[in-house]
A and B are shown apart, each in its own frame.
Chain A
Amino acid sequence: MTQPVIDHAAELAKAGAGVETRLSKAWFLMRSYPLGAIGLLLFFILVFCGVFADWLAPMDPVKTNADTSLALPGTIHVLGADVMGRDLLSRIIHGARISLAVGIGSTIFGCLLGVIIGLASGYLLGWFDLITQRIIDIMQALPLLVMALVMAAALGPSLENTIIAISIPLVPHVARVIRSNTLSLREMPFVEAAKAIGMSETRIAVKHVLPNTFAPLIVLATAQLGSAILTEASLSFLGLGIPEPHPSWGRMLSESAAEYVRTAPWLVIFPGIAISLAVFGANLLGDAVRDILDPRQRS
């Protein structure tokens, strides 16, 4: 079952030094993980669109035009135009920036907090664990969307607030998994061995326990990358999330666009494809990264 991985190590050993090594290593990884390569490509396109949106987009994404309201996809508007006559392709390209910000922003923020809390909690135990576990319990007792709704209502809809609203519910999710993993790990022989040779607690936690929690963390984080984009779409559907006129995919997909789903299906189809591909890519990439990063697979 793990055959290709073993090959991988052997091939690597054969490969030369310097730049060539890195290139061939990358090439090799792509050949070993074709799905991951596709994911990487999709993710790269997303990043590229997000970064260079101003140059890539053929039109101003917020420019309304009465004459092109609900224009069909064609030569002028490649993917058609929305009810306000705004060019859909341009909006989707600019939307990549927002989805990227929401996805990466909330994932990093949420995972960072979650890992710190989960690791400390699972390793230190004691009163710290007790208190954080209570806070986590309280947070987990509130469903994600409920918390996001209340927070979005309290903070007011904006990009930053949406990121916060989406990342906070991730914290207990990550913290719990990291903690339960840490709990298992601290019973492991190699941790006990480290203790026996007199390593400090913090050192053990960071050097031995933390790396071993990467696999589940990466799985969670990459799933979160996609699901953050999805959550933003749901928030928009419920009337929160990123406010108009910012071209957020979630908002483009929801509410008013859904009203025209039969008369102008492209309004729902193209942003829907954009979201699905971005999330799909993030997930494929995450799977591959997980397989590669897993320490036991590498050895």
Chain B
Amino acid sequence: MASYIIRRTLLMVVTLIGLSIVIFAMLRLVPGNIADILFDAAGFIDPAEKAQLEEELGLADPIPVQYWNWIVGLLQGDLGFSYVSELPTIDEIAPRLPITAKLAVLALFFSVIFGLPLGVISAVNQNSKLDYFLRVISLSGLSLPSFWLALLILMAFVSWFGSMPIYTNPPDNLWDELLLYSVPAAAVGFRSSALIMRLTRSSMLEVLRQDYIRTAKAKGASDNSVNYGHALSNAVLPVITIIGIEAAFLIGGLIVTETVFNIPGVARFLVEAIQWRDYPIVQNLVMFIGLVVVVTNFLVDLLYVALDPRIKYE
């Protein structure tokens, strides 16, 4: 067990180094840099002034030097300065993290709380009217563009309440915060819950057909104990994998939702930073997201191993 964890930790480091190279290279492959963007706002490009600016920001250095400078800084906890605001990168990222984290956790919470039980109900009652109904609902969850759903929600709020749940000022108390975040979280979580429900259903069905379930039934175990005792605990396995992956996917859904609801989280900020070619922000933020995802996957794998006796630590 201990050696497994050490090995996995080393692998995580390798992954993160790989990620740093990938994102660094990808950003430099994208045409245009911050100097182009800054001159865009001035409506022209002056080659001499632009060269001066690139020099100032270290963009004129050879690519390996730029990479080395970034990594050395990162290891020393120095994330550099945002090209756009000229403020320390950490001061730009840190205040936005909790906002997105709250949104993501809430969305994940919604999706599991609805997706998992409904998936089980649907599988247990396979081909019944209830099953068809739940499947149609979950399919529509996967069929609606989430920003469209978000827009419709906003419009409904304006029409019915004359107000709308968009972020203008930081919320004052926990209740306001919950209220503010639950609508966008539901808009994102709807899709995820549909996915989890579908997956729970199909893997439940899969498990229910396995020999040992038939054996258990043949031995006279009650339906409930088979469904919830044997089947669910086994069916949960792929579902957990999906939840782990979905956590990373959520960031994507949040980009659009944070834009529609105007929530100043990191997801939207990342897109802005890509569009502005704000390398220090994008690189460090992507590394942070990478770290979160890698650690989540690690935990998911540990859980996977713990739940499935057939898989050994390798």
Q: Which residues of A contact B (CB under 8 A)?
A: 1-2, 4, 35, 125, 130, 133-135, 137-138, 140-146, 149-151, 153-154, 173, 176-177, 180, 183-184, 187, 215-216, 219, 223, 226-227, 230, 233-234, 237-238, 250, 253-254, 258, 261-262, 268, 272, 275-277, 279-280, 283-284, 287, 290, 296-297
Q: Which residues of B contact A (CB under 8 A)?
A: 11-12, 14-16, 18-19, 22-23, 26-27, 29-31, 126-127, 132, 135-136, 139-140, 142-148, 151, 155, 195, 198-199, 202, 206, 208-209, 238, 241, 245, 248-253, 255-256, 259, 270-271, 274-275, 286, 289-290, 293-294, 297, 304, 308, 310-311, 314
CB atoms of B23 and A142 under 8 A apart: yes
> Could you tell me the distance between the alpha carbons of A13 and B222 in the complex, rounded to whole angstroms?
34
CB atoms of B209 and A2 under 8 A apart: yes
4 nearest A-B residue pairs (beta carbon)? A145-B252, A141-B290, A143-B251, A279-B143
CB nearest to A188 among chain B residues: B310
Within 8 Å by CB of A275, from B18, B145, B252, lies B145
Given contacts A141-B248, A223-B142, A296-B209, 6 further A-B pairs with CB under 8 A are: A134-B15, A135-B18, A140-B293, A177-B238, A237-B256, A275-B145
Number of A-B contacts (CB under 8 A): 165
Chain B CB within 10 Å, residue with most, of A141, A234, A272: A141
CB atoms of A283 and B238 under 8 A apart: no
- B28 → chain A closest CB, angstroms: 9
> Could you tell me the distance between the alpha carbons of A216 and B235 in the complex, rounded to whole angstroms?
13
Within 8 Å by CB of A150, from B11, B146, B274, lies B274
CB atoms of B139 and A234 under 8 A apart: no
> With a CB–CB cut-off of 8 A, which chain B residues contact A226?
142-143
> With a CB–CB cut-off of 8 A, which chain B residues contact A187?
310-311
CB atoms of A141 and B15 under 8 A apart: yes
- A71 → chain B closest CB, angstroms: 22
Query: If the complex has contacts A153-B30, A173-B245, are A142 and B286 also in contact, measured as CB distance less than 8 A?
Result: yes
CB atoms of B297 and A137 under 8 A apart: yes
Query: If the complex has contacts A35-B132, A215-B206, A238-B259, are A223 and B252 also in contact, measured as CB distance less than 8 A?
Result: no
> With a CB–CB cut-off of 8 A, which chain A residues contact B311?
183-184, 187
CB atoms of B145 and A146 under 8 A apart: no
